[in-house]
Amino acid sequence: MKSLKLLGLSTVVAITALTGCKPKGTETAVSGDAAQKVYVAPGKYDEFYNFVSGGFNGQVNVYGLPSGRLLKVLPVFSVNPENGYGYSEETKPMLETSHGFIPWDDQHHLSLSQTNAEVDGRWLFANANNTPRVARIDLKTFKTVEILELPNSAGNHSSPFLTENTEYVVAGTRFAVPMDDENGDVPIDSFKENFKGVLSFIGIDQQTGGMDLSFQIEAPGINFDLSHAGKKKSGDWFFFSCYNSEKANTLLEVNASQNDKDFIMAVNWKKAAELVKAGKGRKVVTEYAHNTWDESTHSATSTMKKEVVVLSVEDMKEAMFMIPCPKSPHGCDVDPTGEYIIGSGKLAALIPVFSFDKMIKAIADKNFAGEYDGVQVIKYEAALHGEVQKPGLGPLHTEFDGQGNAYTSMFVSSEVVKWNIKDLKVLDRQPTFYSVGHLMIPGGDSGKPFGKYLVAYNKITKDRYLPTGPELAQSAQLYDISGDKMKLLLDFPTFGEPHYAQALPGEMISKNQVKFFKIADNKHPYATKGEAESKVVREGNKVHVYMTSIRSHFAPDNIEGIRVGDEVYFHVTNLEQDWDVPHGFAIKGNQNAELLIMPGETCTLKWVPKKPGMYPMYCTDFCSALHQEMQGYVRVSPAGSNTPLIYSLNNKKDNAQSPVKEGETK
Amino acid sequence: MNTLKTLAFSMLTLALFSCGGDKKTDSIPTASTTETTTTATEAPAASGTNEYDPKRGLGPHENVDVSKFDPAMAAAGKKIAEVKCTSCHKPTEEKLVGPGWKGVTQRQTPEWIMNFISNPDPMIDVDPELQKQLELCLVRMPNQGLADNEAREILEYMREIDGAK
DSSP-based three-state secondary structure for A529: coil
Mean predicted confidence (pLDDT) in B86-92: 93
Contact (Cβ atoms closer than 8 angstroms) between residue A294 and residue A300:
yes
Q: Which of A531, A579, A626 sits opposite B31 (nearest CB)?
A: A579
| pLDDT for the residue numbered A653 | 67
pLDDT over 50 (residue A488): yes
pLDDT number for residue A294: 97
> What integer pLDDT is reported at residue A24 of this predicted model?
53
Provide the b/e sequence for B52-81 (b: ≥16 CB within 10 Å).
bbeebbbbbbbeeeeeeebeebbebbbebb
CA atoms within 13 A on the CB side of A537: 11
Residue A14 pLDDT > 80, yes or no? no
What count of residues does chain A have? 666
Chain-chain contact of B84 with A530 (C-beta, under 8 angstroms): yes
A91: nearest Cα among A301, A336, A337, A349: A301
**pLDDT value of position B50:** 67
Q: What local confidence, expressed as pLDDT, does residue A461 receive?
A: 86
Task: Give the residue-averaged pLDDT of A293-298.
Answer: 96
Average pLDDT, integer, range A319-327 = 94
Please choose, from the candidates A544, A546, A596, A541, the residue with its C-alpha nearest in 3D space to the C-alpha of residue A564.
A541
Q: Are strands A602-607 and A567-574 parallel, antiparallel or unpaired?
A: antiparallel
The neighbour count for residue A575, using CB atoms within 10 Å, is 27
DSSP for residue A94: G
Interval A517-543 mean pLDDT: 96
Q: Which of B32, B26, B28 is nearest to B11 (CA)?
A: B28
Residue A424 has a CB neighbour count (10 Å cut-off) of 17
A77 class by beta-carbon count within 10 Å (0-12 exposed, 13-18 middle, 19+ buried)? buried
What is the per-residue pLDDT across B142-155, written as a single tens digit (0 to 9) for each?
Answer: 999 999 999 999 99
Q: CA-CA distances (angstroms) from residue A611 to A295, A588, A634, A642?
A: 36, 12, 12, 16
pLDDT tens per residue across span A163-203 = 999 999 999 999 999 999 999 999 999 999 999 999 999 99
d(CA A503, CA A120): 11
Four-CA torsion B124, B130, B132, B135, nearest 10 degrees: -50
Cβ distance of A530 and B142 shorter than 8 Å: no
DSSP state of A573: E
Helix (H, G, I), strand (E, B) or coil at B5: helix
How confident is the model over A549-589, as pLDDT tens digits? 999 999 999 999 999 999 999 999 999 999 999 999 999 99
A501 contacts A475 by C-beta, under 8 angstroms: no
For residue A257, what pLDDT is reported?
Answer: 85
User: Cβ atoms within 10 A of the Cβ of A620, count?
Assistant: 16
Question: Which comes out higher in pLDDT, residue A73 or A31?
Answer: A73
DSSP H stretches of helix in A61-215: 191-194
Gap from B62 CA to chain A (nearest CA, Å): 23
Alpha helices in A154-307 (DSSP H): 191-194, 252-255, 269-277
- Residue closest to A322 by CA, chosen among A372, A259, A265: A265
Helices then strands, each counted (H, E), chain A: 8, 47
Which residue of B16, B139, B150 is the best one to mutate when testing the A interface, meaning the one whose CB has the most A CBs within 10 A? B139
Which chain B residue's Cα is nearest to A624?
B3
Question: Within chain A, what is the greatest distance between any pair of CA atoms?
Answer: 94
Show residues of chain B in contact with A530, CB under 8 Å: 82-84, 86-87
At A89-114, the pLDDT tens digits run 999 999 999 999 999 999 999 999 99
The backbone torsions φ and ψ at residue A592, rounded to the nearest 5 degrees and listed phi first, read -155, -135
Distance from CA of B143 to the nearest CA of A (A): 5
Reported for B15-20, long-range contacts at CB under 8 A and 24+ positions apart, including other chains, are B17/B50, B17/B52, B17/B125, B17/B126, B18/B50, B20/B50
Q: Do A577 and B84 touch (CB under 8 A)?
A: yes
Res. B40: pLDDT tops 50: no
Q: What is the mean pLDDT of residues A622-647?
A: 95
Q: Is the pLDDT of residue B39 over 80?
A: no
Determine contact, residues A526/A600, Cβ cutoff 8 Å.
no
Confidence class of residue A2 from pLDDT cuts 50, 70 and 90?
very low
Q: How far is A61 from chain B (nearest CA, A)?
A: 20
Q: What is the pLDDT of residue A16?
A: 42
The per-residue pLDDT for A328 is 85
**Under 8 Å between Cβ of A486 and A455:** no
Residue B49's pLDDT band, with cuts at 50, 70 and 90, is low
Taking the C-alpha atoms of residue A326 and residue B102, their distance in angstroms, rounded to an integer, is: 82
CA–CA gap between residue A269 and residue A281 (Å, rounded): 14
The dihedral formed by the CA atoms of B19, B20, B25 and B31, expressed in degrees to the nearest 10: 50
Average pLDDT (A350-358) is: 97
State the pLDDT at residue A155: 94
Contacts of A578 in chain B (CB under 8 A): 32, 142-145
Is residue A229 within 8 Å of residue A240, measured between CB atoms? Answer: no
C-alpha distances (whole Å) from A104 to each of A45, A97, A232 are 32, 11, 37
Residue of B34, B83, B119 to mutate, testing the A interface (most A Cβ within 10 Å of its Cβ): B83
What digits encode the pLDDT tens for the residues A586-628? Answer: 999 999 999 999 999 999 999 999 999 999 999 999 999 999 9
Contacts B84 to A, Cβ<8 Å: 519, 530, 575, 577
| Binary contact (B82, A532; C-beta < 8 A) | yes
Which SS3 state, helix, strand or coil, does residue B117 take? Answer: helix
C-alpha B84/C-alpha A576 separation (Å) is 8
CB of A532 closer than 8 Å to CB of B82: yes
Is A1 or A38 the better-scoring residue by pLDDT? A38
Rounded CA separation A528/A532 (Å) = 9
* A21-25, A124-128, A393-397, B141-145: segment of lowest average pLDDT: A21-25
Residues in A closer than 8 angstroms to B82, CB to CB, are: 530-532
Mean pLDDT of B60-86: 95
| Coil/strand/helix, residue A435 | strand
pLDDT band of A652, cuts 50, 70, 90 = confident
Complex ipTM more than 0.90, yes or no: no
Residue A25 confidence (pLDDT): 59
User: To 5 degrees, how large is the angle CA A275–CA A279–CA A284?
Assistant: 100
Beta-carbon separation of B31 and A555 below 8 A:
no
Question: Considering the entire predicted model, what is its pTM?
Answer: 0.90
Q: How far is CA A115 from the centre of its chain?
A: 20
Write down the mean pLDDT value for chain A.
93
Q: A363-402 pLDDT, tens per residue?
A: 999 999 999 999 999 999 999 999 999 999 999 999 999 9
B3/A515 touch (CB, cutoff 8 Å), yes or no: no
- β-bridge pairing A299-311 and A211-219: parallel
**% of residues, chain A, pLDDT over 90:** 88
User: Do B3 and A519 lie within an 8 Å CB cutoff?
Assistant: no
CB-based burial label for A361 (10 Å; 0-12, 13-18, 19+): middle
The per-residue pLDDT for A118 is 98
Minimum CA–CA partner of B121 in chain A: A578
pLDDT > 90 in chain B, percent: 64
Q: Give the pLDDT confidence score for residue A28 in this predicted structure.
A: 65
d(CA A134, CA A121): 18
Q: Is the pLDDT of residue B26 over 80?
A: no
pLDDT (mean) for B86-100: 92
Name the residue in chain A with its Cα closest to that of B27: A43
Query: Which of B1, B138, B142 lies closest to A550 in CB terms?
Result: B142
Give me the helices (H) in A239-355, please: 252-255, 269-277
Cβ separation A580–B31 shorter than 8 A: yes
How close, in Å, is residue B158 to chain A by CA atoms? 18
What would the mean pLDDT of A201-225 be, rounded to a whole number?
97
Residues in chain B: 165
Distances (CA, A) of A571 to A518, A548, A555, A597: 17, 8, 11, 10
Residue of B3, B96, B140 lying closest to A656 (CB–CB): B96
Cβ-based contacts of A622 with chain B (< 8 Å): 1-3
Cβ atoms within 10 Å of B19's Cβ, excluding its own: 9
Residue A342 confidence (pLDDT) above 60: yes
Helix (H, G, I), strand (E, B) or coil at A31: coil
Cβ contact, residue pair B29, A622, below 8 Å: no
